[in-house]
Amino acid sequence: MFTTSNGTEREINAINKFFNNNWDRNIEKLHEHLDKADIVPLDFRKLTSDNQTRLGNYIKTLPEHQRSKIHIMR
């Protein structure tokens, strides 16, 4: 999720600008991935530090069996 390595600067800026507005949808998608996959990569490379912190804090609230599936790319 949040894979933007090939994204334009405009796309990356939009992801960060609207991160909080899209929070509920992003969390819903995260849980869909956690329910289906053994590994859920999250690409933090282009997220702002505030967005990384918010998502990281949320991940800390998840049960261990879900947290263990998440692999953060920095």
Give this prediction's pTM: 0.86
Helices 49-60, 23-36: inter-axial angle, 10-degree rounding: 50
The 10s digit of each residue's pLDDT in 42-72 is 999 999 999 999 999 999 999 999 999 999 9
Task: Give the C-alpha distances (Å, rounded to integers) separating 39 from 8, 18, 64.
Answer: 26, 26, 13
Q: What percent of the chain clears pLDDT 90, i.e. is strictly above it?
A: 80
Q: pLDDT band at residue 5, thresholds of 50, 70 and 90? A: low
Mean pLDDT value of segment 13-34: 95
User: Residue 4 — very low, low, confident or very high, per pLDDT cuts 50/70/90?
Assistant: low
